[in-house]
Every structure is written in structure tokens, then in C-alpha cells.
Structure 1
Amino acid sequence: MVLGSAQYKRQDDEVPMDEDVTSVGSDRLCEAPDGGHVRFVDSTIRYHLGSTSYWHSRSGLEKGLIIVCLILTLFSVIMVVIVSNNASGKQLYYLSHNKQSNATPVTETPEPPKTLCLTEECVKVAGTILSTADLAQDPCEDFYQYACGGWERLNPIPDGRTSWSMFEKLWEGNQLVMKNALEGPTTANMSAAELKAHDYYQSCMDDEGKLEEERGKPLLELVDSVKIGGWPIMDETPIGTMKNIATFQNRLQYLQHDFQASGFFTWSVGEDDKNSSIHVIQIDQGGLSLPAREYYNLHDNSSKPVLEAFREMIVEVAILLIKDKEEIESIPQPREDAIRQRAQGVVDFEIQLANITIPSDQRRSEETLYHNMTVGELQKIAAFLNWTTFFSNVFGKVGRKISAKERVIVYAPTYLRNLTKLIHTYMTNDSLRLDLENYMVMQVVKTYRTALSKDYRQTGKGLEKALLGKESFPERWRVCVSDTDSVMGFALGAMFIRDSFDVKSKPEAQEMIDGVKEAFRTRLKTLKWMDEETRVAALEKADAITDMIGYPDFILEETSLNRKYENLSVAAGEYFKNNLRFHDYVLRENLAKLDKAVNRTKWSMSPPTVNAYYTPTKNQIVFPAGLLQIPFFNLDYPRSLNYGAMGVVMGHELSHAFDDQGREYDEKGNMRNWWNNKTLFEFKRRTSCMEHQYSTYNLGSTDTISGTKTLGENIADNGGLKTAYYAYQRWLERETLHEQPLPGINLTHNQLFFLSFSQVWCSKQTPQAKKLQLLDDPHSPAKFRVIGVLSNSKEFAEAFHCKPGTTMNPEDKCEVW
């Protein structure tokens, strides 16, 4: 369950926090813009190599010459690979040879001679596959290195990044498409929403230098307003203005409701897990500035540099604000050591907050987390606020009254009880009360400092280096493109679709989804460990899964698109104010949902997003246009490659409906137990196998994967591969044809299916980024998303003739779906 307040703007491709969704996964960290708040998000994916219109416009002679040139180029690539590997004294594991490998020689029924596929796309993808792979590796011992060894040699992590992958390469390509759209001339055909997106992007780019001219003054106006009352950390002799629990409540309401800053807990209006047709207020734990509670562990030496960098970030931004305030009025300055001591007080409070935060691997059961109660009942377990007043204050923005009888869903009652005790301790001690006040005001400072001049945006540089190993920041235009996508993603998505999306992809992708669904249903019918009653319910749920592909239709309808953003005001030269307006707009949109029916066709990702997701309360899978590109999907690729990449993603999302959390929801998206006890016991036995398997993996250090935290994604990865493989086999049977071999590659198409799956996960990370992924990401690291899945696949072992007992074909395998 991922909850968050409606107050946050997404970073890059982050899913809006008002829906519970599970994405295809992450092998990368979201790069926080210009030193912005670092957080982990669900991934981006693939790179579009270009249109085929050039090919179709050539004459027959020209096409022949192009093919000859491409074949010669491909031959050169093959020879370079062979020579370089032979020079290193390594054996090339061409699978038909099986020399010195752990593959079992087999006698296969010879197939009719097949002509090579020599289309432009086949030749290009063959070259890409060969340059990405390392054929010197034994595929039966380490298939990740076999699939990605060449890519790792050729792709160092670029400057300004902490990871690099095919995911990020595609996202950067999509960013370039969006940049060209945003920087191009406006036309009379553009919708009002698209013009707003242009203006927002221009305000972020700050071509006129207004951000540098204003520096921290807009933030100072907020901090020094009557509602906030200043930031004690900046005062020479701080006394604070938060004297009692009443002023504490007022301050928190101002920060959350007027300025959309966070702190202490998260809340939003979302779909009720047990009645998914209605919306309800949801409350969960929250309030930590660092991306994982483990960073607050004082007994872990690796945490100390992160906590010190966090403290220094607070010191840096406070010093900048003090200097800018001096230009407005003469003020006595506190010593830097005094500022640092107060900043340490903020860090110390967050350490206490982390101590009461429930670890994510103890929050896997949706049923256990769900607590339905009234606001009045909430008051009894969390008395640090008057909750009726708190919610009445914010819902007053949309004219909605809240009483003590209003129903809320609480996902962390134990945390809220302990938070009540912690706040009482701080409020009854003068020194600690100042630390609490500094923490609260820091929430608004943290939220808006990235909307200021460059020196403010870079106050988090030290923290990002400690957390991620990041040495520099990306180009400003990339930051602003991602920011515009997070604010007006559907307006920008309309431009993206018109400029780069092949509309023929939608029906082809739909055909693949239908095939994957049918393969999954067929698998369900044959599972011997499932009783008939549960099987019938599972089939009903599988049949009820809906899907959406590419983009929502409304974005290409000017009136509908304009209506979506009609209440969002944007001005080209007002980036800071645009942020304030956007946060207020998102908050009001979220509040207004409380009395509205659930929109089951609402998208939670913008079209350019390179990702996919499953929503359990809607029982729905979604695949944005940004995903339907090379190497996941290409209309002119062999189906083995499309099913190995895009098909596995489809199967992954479908399998989330039946992972350890998704299985708790029925066909209508309501949480209820539809499992027979015996079958549920067997399901848990099988998932326990997978939990243990992944817990044995490590990244060459004592940092091991949490098989518990990553269980849902590992179930989806394994189920997705198996489902896509059988969908591909059914396609072959239905089409009654053999796919043409690719030139220069001595692999069958069944083998290419597994190679295609593996190569989309080729990636690199800094050591710090790897650690953060282990702590905060529910997905396994990319290498083990390949090795873990394939070592469980008897179909893979058969395709590559791996001997029993080899690393990639262990005797004991884990299987759920």
C-alpha cells in the first residue's frame, strides 16, 4: 500500500499518491531535480530508435544496397565480438556447439530451411543483441552476464546520473521529444491546456533570470508569514511561537492545508479497499525526509555520512535564507555552529520518528493494515490533533463538512499512538519544542526550495552524493521537462502522442494483452495445487481484469483536455507561484473526490511515462505509450522479441492481481478472502520458497535482498515470464509458422525470447544507489530479476539445454503461477 498526501508533485514518472498501484518495477532511482528531495520511484523503460518511414520511401535498388551495408556492418560487429573474446582467451558459447559449457547436447528435430530475416529492423536488432551480449559467458551459469556483459562494457554511468540502463535511455529519448514540443513555437491549433504546459516549462527554464533575481525572497515571505510565524533556526535567540497544542494544530494545518507541506503522517482521499466503488479518507505513517527508515540507524556506520549530509543541507538553506533576509532588513545573525546545533535537533527528531515507523517488510498484508473507524475513534488513538477540526479545515476548501462520525481508514494505528507520545514529549519541553517547530517549518522549506535560484536548488548536493553517489546535476531542460510532465502530464502527453506515437501500436498491443490473458487463464485451469472453488474465483477475477493502452482518449479532445486543467492557473514568469498554485490545485482535486463515484478509467500515469501498473481496487492493468517502444515493442520485430520484453511486462502486471497482496482483492477490486484454507496454505508455502530464494542473493557484500519486501514483485516477475512464454507458444501454434532467424545470431526464437527478456534489464548503479534500492525498492535489483526468474524456469533450461544442477538450472525451483 502506497499512500501519500495529495500535496506532492510527482518527480519524473512517480505515480500520483492518491491511488494504490503496483508498477512494472524499477532498476533505477528517480534523479531528484537540481538537488531536490530524493525518493525512490517506479521505473522508466526503453529507447525508440526511429521511424521506418525512411525505409518505405526507398526504391528496390536502394533497399538492396542498404541491406548489403547493414549486413556488412553486422558482420563487422560479429567479428569484433569474436576477436575481442578470443583475444581474452575466452570460449564463445554458441549454443549449437556446446563446447566446454554446462549445456546438455541434444538432438533436435531439424526444421525446414529458413531464409534469414533481412529487413531493416531485423538487421538492426540483431546487431544490438550481439553488441549487448557477452557470448564468452556460459548462459547456464550466469545468464545476466551472458545477456548484458557487452552492454556493461560499453555503457559507463553518464555524468550527472547515479544509474544507467536501457530504461533511462528511453526516458531520455522521450524527454527530448517533449523538449522539442515545449520549446517549439506555439500555434493557433494548440489547446489552452497545451499553452499552459508551455508557460509552465518556460517559468521553470527561467530564461529571463527571474529566479536568480528573486533568490529566496518568495520562500522568506511564506516562512515569515503570520500563518507560519518564522523559522526559529534562523533567529539569533530563538524563542518560537508554538507554545501549546492549539498553536501546534494551527501551525500543522497551515503547513499542510495552505502550503501542502508534509510532516508526521500522510493522508489522502482514495478508493476504499473493501468497497472500491467509493472514496474515503486514508491515513498512514510518514514524515521522514530520507527515503528509508534504515538511514536513521545510528548503529550503522554507513548511515552516519547520510545523516550528516542531511543536517548540512538544512544548515545551507538556512544560511542562504538569512543572507537574503539581510538584504530586506537588518537582522542579528546566529553563529553557524548555533544553526548546525539546531539542525541537528531536527535530525534527532526524525531519528525518533524513524524509530516508531513500521518497517516495510512488516506491512505486506493489506488485511492487517486496514482499520476502518470514525474520526471520533481516531481521536482516541491519536490525540495530538483535534481530527474533526483538522479535516473540517481542509475540506472547507471544497465546501464539505466533516463530523466526528466521518469514516476514515487508518493503516498505521500503532504508529499514530506512538506519535502521540512523541509529540507530547517534545511539546512539554522548551528546548525540544523548538526542535519540533524547526522540523515543521523545514517541511515547507524542503517542499519549495527547488523552486528558487540555483544555489538553493543545489543545497541538497551533499545529501545526494551521500545517498546516491551523485556528483553533478542533469541539464536544466531535463529537470523542467520532467517537472512539466509531473504537473501537466496529460497536456504534454497530447503533444507527445501527436509527435511520436505510432497509432498502429495500440491494436497490436491489445492483441498481445489478450493473448497473455488467455495464457494465464489456461495456466490457472491446470494448476494442481488449487482447489476447484478457489480456481473458479481466480478465473472470474482474471476474466474481470480490464486494461488500458497508450493514452486516455480525452487528451486528444480539446474541450475535455482544457476542462481537466481549467482550475490550474499558470504564468510564464512565475515558477515559484506556479508551484504554489499546482499544489493547491492537486489538493482541491483530491478533496473533491470524497463524495464522487470512483472513476474506473482514470489514468495514474501520463502517456510519455515509460512504465506500466496494476491497480488492485480497479483490477486493472495499464500500459502508457512511453512503454510501447524499442526494445519492448516494435511492430516489425520478430514476435519472440516482443513477447520476451513487452509480453513479460504484460504478464508481470497481470500476475500482480495474484501476488501476496493482490490476491487479497476479488474480481471487483474489493478486499475479501475468496481462498480455500488448504489452497491458501499451499500458496503461502510456494511464496515462502520464493521469499527464501531471493533472500540468498546479495550484491557482493553483506547487503542482501529482502525476500519479504520484494516478494510481490518477484511473484509478478516469475509469473509474467511463464505467462508470456506460453502466450508466445500459443501465438506460434495459432499462426502455424516458423519465425525467420535473425542474421548472425545462432539462437532459436525460444532462446531469443529469454534473451529479449533479459536484455531490457541491463543496468549499472553507483554503490550508494544500490544500497538505496535494497532499502527502499520493492523490486529486486535488475541482475536478480533475470537470474532469479530464469533459474526457476524449466522452459528456459530446456531452451538453453542447461544441465541439472547448474546455476541457471537448480534441482529445486520455486513456482507460484
Structure 2
Amino acid sequence: MKKQYLLSALTLALISSLGHAAEGAAAAKSTAAKSGQTLSAGIATQYIEPSVRPQDDFFEYLNGKWLKTVEIPADKSSWGSFMELRENTLPQLRGIIEKTASTNPSAGTDAQRIGDFYASFMDEARLEQLGVAPLKPELDKIAALKDKSELPAMLARLGKIGVGVPFDFGIHQDNKDSTKYVADIGQGGLGMPDRDYYLKADDAKLADTKAKYQAHVEKMLGMAGDKNAAANAKAIVAFETEIARVQWTKVELRDPIKAYNKVNLADMDKTAPGFDWKTWFDTTGIGAKASYVIVGQPTYLKGFVELSNKTPIETWKAYLSLHLIESYGSFLSKNFADERFDFYGRTLSGVKEQEPRWKRGVGAVERAQGEALGKLYVAEYFPAERKARMEALVKNLLAAYKQSIDKLDWMSPATKKEAQAKLATFNPKIGYPNKWKDYSALTVKRDDLVGNVMRSRVVEADRELNKLGRPIDRDEWGMTPQTINAYYNPEMNEIVFPAAILQPPFFDANADDAVNYGGIGAVIGHEISHGFDDQGAQYDGKGNLRDWWTASDHKNFKAKTAMLVNQYNAFEPLPGYHVNGELTLGENIADNSGLAIAYKAYHISLKGKKAPVIDGLSGDQRLYMGWAQVWRSKMREQQQIVQVKTDPHSPGQYRANGTLKNQPGYYEAFGVKPGDKMYLAPKDRVIIW
């Protein structure tokens, strides 16, 4: 079962992390004044490349020396602000886990579960002794399949233990009745990141990856004892290629209206005939708890069933065995873990070395018991004043949006009224949940890593399924407190900032406000603006899909977003691989809008006073430099291809430069004129907020 949140995260790969708040900066100023401390500019000027003009390539100008000298660590596919902060957080989490385990905690407590789960991951000798044996019961069940009439129950069973199957379900709010939870059925089942890896035969790099994937599949099956591994690998890749052929593209998946297809359980045979839906619903548990589902991609589901019915049962058994092994390969003996890394790390992402085992162990604990570990993290590393400071800054950014809406020249009074109503209902969540998840249903054994992982997945699947028929839990979080990220959820109309993102180096309590508005301020603005991007704007303040725009406003907004699509389509991080302006549209809107609002909020905070000049830099210059240094990053070529194909965020250099090109304040701050490479004529700039 997939865990589903219809949220717009700040980033999935490269994001900055930030902290504190405007009031925090003000408090820092007050403290600094009392102590005689001078506030800094907060800019990493040591990385400035003087040979590049800020009017020609701002990202390169501000980060050039860093880009030239810093190497991506061998165990990483990319490096930058986000990964650096994650690297700083991992030892903290490891310390918490090891300290917790050393206290000899009582059985059945969070401390026991955390400590024993980590210990089971770190016991390499035990894993070598077991080999593939922990998966034998499940592999035997797959091998025992007699015909395809048994597939519905098997797909439901494997989905529940976290295996990637061709379709699965997630639980979230009904897009058109946000007072109810609903099961949403969606596509899946590929072993590579995107359908293009299977279908773009004219792309030499993708074709080479596909060939290496087949070799990887053969090796994984062979290690598990498959005597027909070569033939089965070929059949699996051919099967997945056909699955890819009927799947929706990443751009098509962005449309919440097309993805909302309400179907009564009894009518599923009409949507995708030829599959025993009743057995699948009964086995998943949906049948006992719901009368309808939302089918995300009905044409895919219909095409998949047709494909399934003409696929031999032996191919199905090989495919399901492979996906089971892949799903648990990191928790088996070294040969499985290494082979899995060799393809997904080295081949697919360009990573040279696997992470140290303790880091992978921390990650495994987080995935299984994220909030239990997060509760301990917050107690030790998240001072109470950070939450208060962040709350103040969020209020400041919301106030700036409120003013901005009233002044828009492209939005009608009727739509402005609706926008203000939605803005007024935004729910900020900062640091950590008001109530923590209960993990008491999870049994953790010190000598059973695969069993621990499997049981943790079942516990989470049951937790999600049991939401059906119950009131909406508005205290629930979609990320753990130790996550370096932030998100907006349109169904809850909430913006969420986990504790770990609210720390240095991105918010500097000893720096002047400007750089923090360019950093954390723009990030807050980014998340708020997701409520008004091309997807979020289709939801009202209650979280329902409802068209609250006038026809003329739709037309004006579409004209602006079409310009933004064209701007980003032109960016080419690798020869032949352009940014997909449609796939990244929502995040590009949020970047451009978030920075524009942060600029306005900063000027509101000055209260008519002139910003100080620090290190020869004006307040506006420091704000835009704060923005661009957030996106300081570099990425391996293979991972760059994955990002372009799958990530709704643009690469870091274009999040910096592409956004700045549309900011009038940037032109004024740095004297950008016609002829400069960063210059766009006023008529070509996209200004939404």
C-alpha cells in the first residue's frame, strides 16, 4: 500500500533548509545590540566568482568558487545546502538511537523498538547467515500461484507489505468532499524512475540504462535461486515496458480534475473489466470500509488489466518475485544490498560508494518509526523559541500576501475575495505535531530485520486503512520533524515546516534580516503560494476541488503561466535534456511568487526606514544573494537525467537564475540592463504576485 499525500513539497532532491523567523531576526538584533555585537551580512562571499558578472549569471557569480572546488561526496548523487544539513542531522539521530538503546528499555516501548530495529539492521553477521531466507515464505507464496485468478489477492497482499505492484491505493481526503477520507487507486509497478527509461529507444543514455537494468534484474533473480533468471529478466523488462506504455506521463499526473474519477466499488468492472475487483477490495480491506474509490488514471487501469490478461502466469510470478526482492534487498545479505546499490546508486544516479551502514540504519529506523524518533529529536535539538520565531515570520509573510492580493491588476474583485478567504484559513504547522503517532502495534525483534521492516509496513498500511469512515485528523503530519523539507497540502490548506529545516546555516540569528528573508522568508512564501499555483488554485479554503475563479482570471493566469512554461523549457542542464516547463510549473510559480512576496515582506519589516549597508551590500542585494546561495548545489550527470525526467522542481541553478529574471527588485538592486545575459524585457517578465 502506498502512503499518499497530495502535497507540494519544497523539494525532493536539492532544497535548501532554513530556520527561525523574522521575529527571530528581530530578537537577534535586540540581543546583538545589548551585547554590542554587529550583525553580519550572512552571505558566503568566499564563494563569489569575481570573473562572472551578477548581471550575466547570478548563480555562477555567487557560488562559482564553490562549484569549482567542492566535490560531490562519493556516497551522494548530489551535494548542496540540503544534503549538507542532512549530513549534520544524521549523527544527531544516530546519537539519539544509540543512547536510547543503551538504557536497556522495557519491552514494548518506543525506546525498545527503536534500539532493537537499529540493532537488527547493524547485525551484518546475522544477515549474511540468513541470505534470502527471510523472504522465502513470501517467495513460496508467489511460486505457488496456479493461475491469474489468484493475482488480485496476491497484489493486495504484496501492496500491503510495501512491494511495488502495477497499481495500489493510498488514503487521503476526498478532493470534492474534504470532510471524508477516501481510497485513491493509482498507477505504479515500474522498476525504473519513469516511463521514458523504457520507451525512449532513441535516447542512447536511457537505452543503455535499460540494458543495464535487465542485467541487474537477471542478477537479483539468480542470487535468489532462479534457474531461468536470464529468460525471466527479459520477460520482466518487456512486461514493464508495456506497463510504461499505458501509464500517464508525469505532466498528465499533475491534473487533479482528470485524476478525480469517483467509482462505486460495484462499478469497477465497468471501469476496468476483466479483473476480480471484489477479491482485491476484500483482501485490501477497502471493501469493508468504503462504498466508492477514486480512480486516478482510469485509462491506465483499463490498459493494465488488458495487458495482465494476456501476460503468462510465469512472467507474473517472475515479476512479483523480482519486485519483492527489490523492495527488501537492502535488508538482506551483502550481495543483495550491494547489487541493488550498484544499479540504483551507481548506474542510475552516478553514486560511487554506498553510504556507511550506520547512515542506512538510521534511515531504516526513520522510515519505520519516524515520529517516535522525531519526538526524541525535538526534545534534544529543537529549542522552544524557534517555533515562536517561525510563527511570527509566517504571520508576516501571510500579511504580505494579503496586501499583494488586493493590489493585483490581473485578478478580478470577485476572485480576490475568494483568494483572501482561502488565505485566511491557511493552517501553519511548525516544528512537530501536536500529537504523536502510536507505534505500540509494532513488534520489533533484535534478530529479525526483514520481519521488522515488513511488520512496520503492515502497521502503517493498517493505520492508513483505518482512517476510512473516521473524522479527518487535522493534527496529522505528512513529514517527520527531522525531515529537511517543507510542504503545502491543498486538501488541508496547510503549510508545514518540520523542526529540522528550522536551523542554521540557512537562517542566521547573527545576520541582518535581509538574508533571512531571501532564505526562510522566500521558502515560507513558496509554500503559501502553492495554494495559488496552477494546481493549488483549483482547491478552495476547505480543501475541495472547486472553481472559484472567473473566466477572465483563468485566462489571465493561463497567459502568465504559459510564459513561465516557455521560460523554463529553454533551460538545458545537460546537452539534449531540457527542463520540462509543464512538469515543473507549480514549483516554478511557487519559487517566483515566494521570492516576490519575501521581498515585499522585507520592505514591510523596514517600516519606512532605510536598510543598512553591510559589507558594501544593500539590503535588497543581500536578500537576493540569500536566495541564490540557498540553491548552491551540484549533481552527477546520471542523477540530473533522473531529476529532469521525474522531479517537479527545476535544477538549483534555474531555481536561482530563472526566478531572479522575473523579479523587478533584482534589476534595481544590481543594475541589470538590456544586453546583460540575465535581462528580460519588462513585457517578458512573469509577475504573478
**Structure 2 length as normaliser, TM-score?**
0.93
- 1:141 equivalenced with 2:56 (yes/no): yes
Question: Among 580, 584, 587, which residue is 1:713 paired with?
Answer: 587
Whether the 8 Å CA contact 1:313–1:459 is kept in 2: the answer is: yes
Q: Who is 1:12 aligned against?
A: none
Task: Specify the SS of the correspondent of 1:590.
Answer: helix
Deviation of the 1:741 alpha carbon: 4.5
Q: Who is 2:620 aligned against?
A: 750
Whether the 8 Å CA contact 1:628–1:634 is kept in 2: the answer is: no
Q: Who is 2:248 aligned against?
A: 358
Deviation of the 1:660 alpha carbon: 0.4
- 1:551 equivalenced with 2:432 (yes/no): yes
Residue pairs, 1:629-708, within 5 angstroms: 629-708=503-582
Question: Among 82, 107, 114, which residue is 1:197 paired with?
Answer: 114
In 2, Cα distance between equivalents of 1:633 and 1:200: 34
- 1:340 equivalenced with 2:230 (yes/no): yes
Change (3 A) 1:253 1:700: closer
In 1, Cα distance between equivalents of 2:142 and 2:236: 17
Task: Specify the SS of the correspondent of 2:143.
Answer: coil
In 1, Cα distance between equivalents of 2:5 and 2:159: 19
**Percent identity for Structure 1 against Structure 2:** 29
Q: Who is 2:10 aligned against?
A: 24
Note the alpha carbon deviations across 1:761-789, whole angstroms, 9 max, x for none: 01111111111100000000000001110
Question: Among 567, 582, 585, which residue is 2:441 paired with?
Answer: 567
- 1:313 equivalenced with 2:190 (yes/no): no
Q: Who is 2:142 aligned against?
A: 228
Q: Who is 1:596 aligned against?
A: 470
Q: Who is 2:193 aligned against?
A: 291
Deviation of the 1:175 alpha carbon: 0.6
In 1, Cα distance between equivalents of 2:284 and 2:256: 28
Task: Specify the SS of the correspondent of 1:269.
Answer: strand
In 1, Cα distance between equivalents of 2:267 and 2:622: 58
Residue pairs, 1:323-472, within 5 angstroms: 334=227, 338-395=228-285, 401=288, 406-426=291-311, 432-464=312-344, 465-472=346-353
Whether the 8 Å CA contact 2:326–2:340 is kept in 1: the answer is: no
Change (3 A) 1:696 1:532: same
Task: Specify the SS of the correspondent of 2:251.
Answer: helix
In 2, Cα distance between equivalents of 1:27 and 1:19: 17
In 2, Cα distance between equivalents of 1:23 and 1:252: 29
Note the alpha carbon deviations across 1:215-235, whole angstroms, 9 max, x for none: 2111123212xx3236xxxxx
Deviation of the 1:120 alpha carbon: 8.0
Residue pairs, 1:203-222, within 5 angstroms: 203-206=120-123, 209-222=125-138
Change (3 A) 1:593 1:804: same
Q: Who is 2:685 aligned against?
A: 813
Whether the 8 Å CA contact 2:187–2:247 is kept in 1: the answer is: yes
Deviation of the 1:118 alpha carbon: 7.9
Whether the 8 Å CA contact 2:517–2:602 is kept in 1: the answer is: yes
**Residue correspondences, number:** 673
Note the alpha carbon deviations across 1:776-805, whole angstroms, 9 max, x for none: 000000000011100001111111111134
Note the alpha carbon deviations across 1:466-511, whole angstroms, 9 max, x for none: 2111221011111111221121111111221222222211111111
Question: Among 641, 652, 672, which residue is 1:782 paired with?
Answer: 652
Whether the 8 Å CA contact 2:435–2:475 is kept in 1: the answer is: no
Note the alpha carbon deviations across 1:587-632, whole angstroms, 9 max, x for none: 1111101111111121111111110000000000000011111232
Whether the 8 Å CA contact 2:17–2:502 is kept in 1: the answer is: no
Residue pairs, 1:459-538, within 5 angstroms: 459-464=339-344, 465-538=346-419
Q: Who is 1:37 aligned against?
A: none
Note the alpha carbon deviations across 1:170-227, whole angstroms, 9 max, x for none: 00101111011112254489992233212211211116x2112212111123212xx3
Q: Who is 1:262 aligned against?
A: 164
Report which stretch shifted further, 629-638 or 594-603.
629-638
- Unaligned segments of structure 1, at least 5 residues: 7-16, 29-42, 57-62, 64-114, 231-240, 323-332, 427-431, 556-560
- Aligned residues: CA RMSD: 2.4
Change (3 A) 1:301 1:47: farther
Runs of 4+ residues deviating >6 angstroms: 188-191
Q: Who is 2:79 aligned against?
A: 164
Note the alpha carbon deviations across 1:282-315, whole angstroms, 9 max, x for none: 1111111111111002332212221122222222
Task: Specify the SS of the correspondent of 1:554.
Answer: coil
Note the alpha carbon deviations across 1:295-349, whole angstroms, 9 max, x for none: 0023322122211222222222222222xxxxxxxxxx83xxx421221110010
Task: Specify the SS of the correspondent of 2:169.
Answer: strand
Whether the 8 Å CA contact 1:791–1:807 is kept in 2: the answer is: no
Task: Specify the SS of the correspondent of 1:136.
Answer: coil
Task: Specify the SS of the correspondent of 1:367.
Answer: coil
Task: Specify the SS of the correspondent of 2:378.
Answer: helix
Task: Specify the SS of the correspondent of 1:565.
Answer: coil
Whether the 8 Å CA contact 1:614–1:657 is kept in 2: the answer is: yes
In 1, Cα distance between equivalents of 2:279 and 2:315: 25
Deviation of the 1:46 alpha carbon: 6.0
Task: Specify the SS of the correspondent of 2:181.
Answer: strand
The amino acid that maps onto 1:210 is R
In 1, Cα distance between equivalents of 2:51 and 2:298: 55
The amino acid that maps onto 1:285 is Q
The amino acid that maps onto 1:407 is Y
Whether the 8 Å CA contact 1:47–1:170 is kept in 2: the answer is: no
Task: Specify the SS of the correspondent of 2:285.
Answer: helix
Task: Specify the SS of the correspondent of 2:435.
Answer: helix
Note the alpha carbon deviations across 1:403-451, whole angstroms, 9 max, x for none: 8xx111111011111112111221xxxxx43222211222222211211
Q: Who is 1:32 aligned against?
A: none
Change (3 A) 1:291 1:680: same
Change (3 A) 1:661 1:144: same
In 1, Cα distance between equivalents of 2:323 and 2:269: 24
Note the alpha carbon deviations across 1:389-408, whole angstroms, 9 max, x for none: 21112218xxx7268xx111
Change (3 A) 1:384 1:270: farther
Question: Among 488, 493, 513, which residue is 1:614 paired with?
Answer: 488
Note the alpha carbon deviations across 1:95-126, whole angstroms, 9 max, x for none: xxxxxxxxxxxxxxxxxxxx9x9848738x45
Deviation of the 1:636 alpha carbon: 2.9
In 2, Cα distance between equivalents of 1:44 and 1:677: 37
The amino acid that maps onto 1:249 is P
Q: Who is 2:643 aligned against?
A: 773
In 2, Cα distance between equivalents of 1:455 and 1:119: 56
Deviation of the 1:360 alpha carbon: 1.3
Change (3 A) 1:254 1:611: closer
In 2, Cα distance between equivalents of 1:530 and 1:505: 36
Task: Specify the SS of the correspondent of 2:685.
Answer: coil
